[in-house]
């Protein structure tokens, strides 16, 4: 795994953990201009099911119309301040919205103010529902913390070992190269000495021959 690959993996893991944790505590997760939230009731079935993770985006409230699905902070006393996701059934002349869950028989008793709107529904993130279908707190801990930590630790140990092996190999190659150069220098020095001795012997032989000629 390259450094870039590790960074991408870490980023995706962080985003996944962030979204799952926010879903577990009933908060929205903001990612790249979108908000992701977990639906906690079946009031929008069959369009949206309980446990679905949906993504919404802040939009111009003046562009909203009947039929759009929006997420908003409810002003209904029974669930005041909680996030609700329902379909707009009517836009009133005062700019407020009448909403209704697809599975509900009647419209919501309290209209939605523009300032209460979080965003417009754009779709589902099925991967997170799949994770949530088997992920208890303990399983989430194992899946997103323990396993990635072990994988990263193994990867780091492997990387360190490879660096050590590479370093040792480099040192061995360097030592071998130095030994080779040393042997070459010794061989050259021996050859130079041999040639000098040969030259001296030749000179002595010539000198001896010259002496004999002079005696004759």
At 95-147, the pLDDT tens digits run 999 999 999 999 999 999 999 999 999 999 887 777 666 655 556 566 666 66
DSSP 137: H
Across residues 184-202, what is the average pLDDT? 79
In this structure, what token pair is assigned to residue 193? 């000495």
**Arithmetic mean of pLDDT over the chain:** 80
Reference 35, options 54, 8, 10, 16; nearest CA is: 54
| Strand 117-124 versus strand 34-38 pairing type | unpaired
Fold of 3-135: Umud Fragment, subunit A (2.10.109)
Which helix (H) or strand (E) covers residue 213, if one does? Answer: helix 147-215
pLDDT of 86 above 60 = yes
> Cα separation of 40 and 83, whole Å?
9
* pLDDT computed for residue 200 by the predictor: 76
- The answer, as to whether pTM is greater than 0.85, is no
């Amino acid at each position: 795994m390259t450094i870039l690959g590790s960074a991408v993996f870490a980023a995706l893991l962080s985003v996944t953990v962030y979204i799952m944790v926010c879903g577990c505590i009933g908060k929205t997760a903001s990612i790249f201009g979108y908000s992701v939230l977990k639906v906690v009731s079946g009031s929008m079935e069959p369009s949206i099911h309980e446990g679905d993770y949906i993504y919404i985006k802040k939009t111009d409230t003046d562009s909203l119309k009947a039929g759009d699905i929006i997420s908003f902070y409810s002003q209904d006393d029974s669930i005041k301040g909680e996030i609700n996701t329902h379909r707009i059934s009517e836009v009133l002349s005062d700019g407020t919205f009448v909403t209704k869950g697809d599975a509900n028989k009647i419209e919501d008793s309290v209209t939605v103010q523009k300032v209460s709107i979080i965003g417009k529904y754009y779709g589902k993130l099925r991967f997170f529902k799949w994770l949530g279908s088997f992920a208890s707190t303990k399983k989430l801990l194992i899946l997103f913390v323990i396993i990635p930590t072990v994988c990263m630790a193994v990867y780091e140990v492997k990387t360190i070992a490879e660096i050590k092996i590479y370093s040792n190999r480099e040192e061995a190659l360097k030592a071998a190269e130095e030994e080779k150069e040393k042997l070459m220098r010794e061989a050259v020095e021996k050859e130079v000495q041999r040639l000098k001795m040969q030259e001296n012997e030749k000179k002595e032989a010539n000198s001896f021959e010259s002496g004999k000629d002079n005696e004759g």
